[in-house]
Structure 1
């Protein structure tokens, strides 16, 4: 009897170890500077959501401490800090690194590009994720990248006056992000890159004439409506915007497989949560903006055609970079095939 009990106890102990491998893993503290404040819905809230869940999901073997923008590392320095090991993780959007790697912008937001479902389809079931990691590897960055949030369209600009024709853009100074900024430059707009917290002051002082930043609910928090009253849609420059969790490669390689799986799974869940959060709050923010005297305007056909034709000129220039050309070709092939489904599977849209 004693022998049987001893054998049973050993079996239970062995099974417990097998099914709770995370209990044996080294504990990891991810110090995570972020590029967007956690007070900004769907922009900064996703990484806070991840940080609150990673500890129980990982069996208490991973903790994440989030540092608000500039508290530990400046937003534009996050990639270098994670790669060098100054910090072991960071949260931003790849478009911030387009000056270092032109293709990075294609993993952030693409003018006239895919909406969130198509973007995620290419990323997770096409070649997107492989090309995404390959970009960092080829450029010599010591990071593991995990797509960790996504939002749907942004507004395409706040202006002090109506923009009805191409000439109305010329001479304006505008805060603009990503590849869309290169489109605006070609159209005679002087663009600057400012963090969200500095845009209101720049508009108020007249340092800039116009700005785009994010979705209506986020722009509402930043108070743009108090200064500029013409808000233009659609967000042709950012039909979807993806955000990334960067992890130092040495830290990542030192993790157990179940720890890596916990982070991958939680980031995938965050993609779902962030798109749902963003979609849920835009209409209320737009209604409130109208009550505050904001005119919500849809670009006329002439302006949209101009933006798109100018964007294609930018693409040809960017394709001089071999990796940009490689990613663009793959994304374009995927989108061409996806068009068969998109053109037949969805109801026509009403503007």
Structure 2
């Protein structure tokens, strides 16, 4: 994270803390497991950013001790540990909860969904926050949006994928609703934590994988074992992260402490988005010397995947009341937002050199 930006954020948050009161009333010393290795840019480093912000604005009264994935709780079991009170809080991608909370992927990432700032608009101003708290509140968990990235890549492959037929029988690591779409297309989908993907690719346990943005995937070494990186990330047009807190613990905090946590997470959301957007271009420009081919999914295949995505969303909505409620909310917001989006922003294919 840019140190000057971090200093400004801390200064602003400290001013807010001074306005609210000199220190947080609650003295907090929490062990907070991170679902992602802390060295991963824009996703793994977010938990430490939150911890540093909270330590600064509370003058040391709120301290999070961040644990690497698996050192305290396995990444895919983090929500269970928060729910049952084994830990007070954790930092995670709630899409990992899909097996127990069907609507969770909608709060984390969905195929052909919103762009990141569109998602934050829905979360903060379109009813998303209330729905997240309602859904997770039933599981004794309080979620706070605490990070967001732009689209992921569509995955790392060693063979071209041009039609749905090319996906049949493919052993691939995929998460969330996108994984269900690929299963419907005939792929053999597995979900493993990010730290285990390289070895699985190297040993041939899987043929292909998605995980995150190019800068993150390169840090994990995917470019060494797979040479075709597909775009765009149709399955995760946004990737949202949350600080999840045991609801009983959250309800026991005073309002000032809650405000500090909300503020620190709002700052981290902006910082993670900025960081993720800033570092991808340079990585992609270096693909050629690494022997990696950056390739776009052809439009016919994208349309086929969108059709399958619609089927998956409809099936999930029919099977789970919460899923339908959240999906309907997102669809209504996206419809209204489109009026602004289509008018206000330049077309993506607009040539900025035209006329020069």
- Unaligned segments of structure 1, at least 5 residues: 1-17
Using the TM superposition, give the Cα deviation of residue 166 of structure 1 relative to its aligned residue in structure 2, in angstroms.
2.0
Alignment of 1:17-166 (within 5 A): 21=21, 23=23, 25-138=25-138, 141-166=139-164
Q: Is the 8 A contact 2:156 2:230 kept in 1?
A: yes
Number of matched residues? 332
CA distance in 2, matches of 1:28, 1:51: 11
Alignment-derived partner of residue 3 in structure 2 = none
Secondary structure of the equivalent of 1:102? coil
Alignment-derived partner of residue 329 in structure 1 = 328
Secondary structure of the equivalent of 2:287? helix
- Unaligned segments of structure 2, at least 5 residues: 1-17, 351-356
**Match for 2:308 among 294, 304, 310?**
310
Specify whether residues 294 and 252 from structure 1 end up closer, same or farther in structure 2 by C-alpha distance, changes over 3 A only. same
Q: Is the 8 A contact 1:22 1:259 kept in 2?
A: no
Q: Is the 8 A contact 2:161 2:167 kept in 1?
A: yes
Using the TM superposition, give the Cα deviation of residue 70 of structure 1 relative to its aligned residue in structure 2, in angstroms.
0.4
Alignment-derived partner of residue 274 in structure 2 = 276
Secondary structure of the equivalent of 1:149? strand
Secondary structure of the equivalent of 1:148? strand
Using the TM superposition, give the Cα deviation of residue 19 of structure 1 relative to its aligned residue in structure 2, in angstroms.
6.3
Alignment-derived partner of residue 243 in structure 1 = 241
CA distance in 2, matches of 1:26, 1:148: 21
Q: Is the 8 A contact 1:142 1:249 kept in 2?
A: yes
Alignment-derived partner of residue 204 in structure 1 = 202
Alignment-derived partner of residue 221 in structure 1 = 219
Q: Is the 8 A contact 2:76 2:193 kept in 1?
A: no
Deviation sequence 1:135-192 (CA, Å, 0-9, x none)? 0123xx2221100000001001111111122221111100001100011011110000
Specify whether residues 350 and 22 from structure 1 end up closer, same or farther in structure 2 by C-alpha distance, changes over 3 A only. same
CA distance in 1, matches of 2:247, 2:276: 31
State the TM-score, normalized to the length of structure 1: 0.92
Deviation sequence 1:33-77 (CA, Å, 0-9, x none)? 110011000111111111112112123321111010000111111
CA distance in 2, matches of 1:344, 1:315: 28
CA distance in 2, matches of 1:221, 1:119: 27
Secondary structure of the equivalent of 2:245? strand
State the TM-score, normalized to the length of structure 2: 0.91
Using the TM superposition, give the Cα deviation of residue 22 of structure 1 relative to its aligned residue in structure 2, in angstroms.
5.1
